[in-house]
Amino acid sequence: MSTETPSGTVRLTVAQAVVRFLSSQFSERDGIRRQFFGGVLGIFGHGNVAGVGQALLEAELEADAGDGWKAPAQVPYTTGRNEQAMVHTAVGYARQKDRLQAMAVTASIGPGSTNMLTGAALATVNRIPVLLLASDVFATRAASPVLQELEADTGYDVSVNDAFRPLSRFFDRVWRPEQLPAALLGAMRVLTDPAQTGAATLCLPQDVQAEAFDWPAELFRERTWRIARPVPEKALVQEVADLVRSAKTPLVVAGGGVTYSEADDALRTFVEATGIPVGQTQAGKGTLPYDHPLCLGAIGSTGTTAANEIAAEADLVIGVGTRYSDFTTASRTAFQNPGVRFVNVNVAALDAVKHAGLPVLADAREALEALTTALAGFSTPDAYRERAARLNREWDAVVESYYRSGLGEREGVLAQAEVLGAVDEVADARDVVVCAAGSLPGDLHCMWRTRERKGYHVEYGYSCMGYEIPGGIGVRMAAPDRDVFITVGDGSYLMMPTELVTAVQEHVKVVVVLLQNHGFASIGALSESRGSQRYGTRYRYRDEEGHLAGEKLPVDLAANAESLGVRVLRAHTREELVAALRDAKASPESTLVHVETDLHSEAPDGGAWWDVPVSQVSHLGSTQSARVEYERQKARQRPLL
């Protein structure tokens, strides 16, 4: 325990100082102040057990005794199972909290820390704040090389943690205690900046973590970080308004920035006033409910015919909070109007200048409100609104036909869309569906009926297999009053079932819907369409000719989940599935619902393309014909748009 000295300093170790600092950080937006760090996740090894581990223990015990650090509230600590997964949980949490709150992750040196690299990339790509406390080798080098140390003969100050540099929006290594205050403030600056946010990595050498220092008490005073809402320039708003007034077929592309800015209501007001329909990216889905007459749903490669039809004709695209990934632009084939222009509302300059658009560097809500005012009295013609509403209804009829195809009954194994239909039937409007990789994200993007904001959580910036379960746990930790349906394929499940143990330990209730189709439906279909004959995409024994095309493997993923302590229900028919989902929803504990699905089940076609190159030369007929089709599609690409 430590107390402030008359000289205004506090004697603590570096790790104790880090833990105390974390508990004193707040964020504020729209007058609401929140504790910034909602938790610390960790796995201990010799790199952090006696440093950060000791500090967390001391903090927990002092908080219990009530004589702690006069901190507003203790930051709770949770043990995870895999460092990459812990970063996913932190990302799920921060995303569900609209980036207003986040988590820190502590890992041991060497593999403990490098296991977080994929998580760091995922956080930075998706622009979600996470604080990574990567332990590092001795600063004093007293006993070098220590266990798990990389010895670089090009320089002794290199460690494996340098691999975090390109993946982090802020990176620092605290070689000496004196460097810590600036490093902590630097990390907070990035974590709370909507345009800069992503992974902030602080490398803490294992000896430095345990070193004591006299810190200025000021370091631990409560600090409130305002999450900025930059306002658009007036003249720019006028320019955009003029563009909108002269447009015939304007379209809004709503991205994640709309959600993070809590601009959903502002978007609705803007589109209802102006009659401009909306296409949604993966991160932007849910910004308008699926059945809003101006909601065209998913746009791009995994989009709806509704959004893609309007996109092809649009003469003005107003991108709000989108980074225009290849899935959104259908690899730059979605926007075919020769005169199409872009207006890009974004807090990040990087995105605002894309597609030679008019950059509006501003917060989504501020910009949409300013535009609504500037466009007072303007509306697209009734016929345009009616067309959007019709396209919306037509697509929903397509969704219904897939949700209720009856294929399961006819074929003996459920189609994936039927499983989504069953989840749709059981889930409440406020529940959250979670996914990340495989064929599910595309199916969810175009089919899921999102009813309320934050009801759709598909990690599609990095589309990382294995994100689903830990990410979904983070979502539930952020929103304990909403049921979380994690939909996960067998491939993704096998990558990272580990955190089911954490869900059990912490009584974090999630419903996992595990779709076992014995391989990769997604990459299998992609492989086939690109002439590679589904090679290596099935979970099979080798056949007599030595190919992986023999009998199905005898894996029982339901039994696997059961062995981790989670309740498991097995469903075979639609009725059983609905019953199992209802049971899981009613239960206070986590449940995994296991269902076999058809590897070849189809999703509705939104008519858009995705650029995945096909071999230019090949002896295979399948590849040659795929190449012909590839070149035909490639010709539609507008790379300089």
Ligand X SMILES: Cc1ncc(C[n+]2csc(CCOP(=O)(O)OP(=O)(O)O)c2C)c(N)n1
Contact between residue 447 and residue 402 where contact means Cβ atoms under 8 Å apart: yes
Where on the chain is the footprint of Mg ion (CB under 5 A)?
489-491, 517
Residues ≥6 apart with Cβ < 8 Å to 152: 158
How far is 200 from 164, CA to CA, in rounded Å? 9
Contact 254, 361 (CB under 8 A): no
Question: Binding string to ligand X for residues 522 to 541, with x set by CB under 6 A, is what?
Answer: xx------------------
Of 85 and 107, the one with the shorter C-beta distance to ligand X is: 85
Alpha-carbon distance 252 to 254, whole Å? 6
Measured from the CB of residue 488, what is the shortest distance to ligand X in angstroms?
7
Cβ–Cβ < 8 Å for 453, 264: yes
If one counts every other C-beta atom within 10 angstroms of the C-beta of residue 585, the result is 17
Residue whose CB is less far from Mg ion, 421 or 524: 524
Stretch that binds ligand X, among 119-127, 437-445, 472-480, 600-608 (CB under 6 A): 437-445
| H-state helical runs in 108-262 | 111-114, 117-126, 180-191, 206-209, 234-245, 256-260
Which positions from 464 through 483 interact with ligand X, judged by CB under 6 A? 464-465
461 forms part of the interface with ligand X (CB under 6 A): no
Residues 450 and 460: their CA atoms lie apart, in Å, by 16
User: Which CB, 137 or 420, lies closer to ligand X?
Assistant: 420
Backbone angles phi, psi at 381, to 5 degrees: -60, 155
Using CB under 6 A as the criterion, what x/- string covers residues 489-518 for binding ligand X?
A: xxxx------------------------x-
Q: Which is nearer to ligand X, 85 or 208 (CB)?
A: 85
| 438 is an interface residue for ligand X by CB under 6 A | yes
What's CA 421's distance to the chain center, in Å?
Answer: 23
Q: Which is nearer to ligand X, 55 or 523 (CB)?
A: 523
* Type of residue found at 387: R
Picked from ligand X, Mg ion, none, the partner binding residue 492 (CB below 5 to 8 A depending on kind) is ligand X
Q: Which does 463 bind (CB under 5 to 8 A by kind): ligand X, Mg ion, none?
A: ligand X
Provide the H-helix boundaries in 247-360.
256-260, 264-274, 305-313, 349-352
* Residue 380 touching ligand X (CB under 6 A): no
Taking CB within 5 to 8 Å according to partner kind, which of ligand X, Mg ion, none is near residue 249? none
Q: Select from 312, 326, 313, 318 the least CA-distant residue to 357.
A: 318
As measured in angstroms, the least distance from the Cβ of 594 to Mg ion is 13
- CB atoms near residue 543 (< 10 Å): 11
Residue of 463, 487, 532, 590 that binds ligand X (CB under 6 A): 463
Taking the least distance from each CB to Mg ion, the nearer of 321 and 524 is: 524
Least Å from the CB of residue 88 to ligand X: 11
Name which of 386, 399, 395 is nearest 294 in CA terms: 386
Nearer to Mg ion, 262 or 418 (CB): 418
Return d(Cα 621, Cα 549) in angstroms, integer: 20
464 binds, among Mg ion, ligand X, none (CB under 5 to 8 A by kind): ligand X
In the complex, which residues of this chain contact ligand X (CB under 6 A)? Answer: 437-440, 463-465, 489-492, 517, 520-523
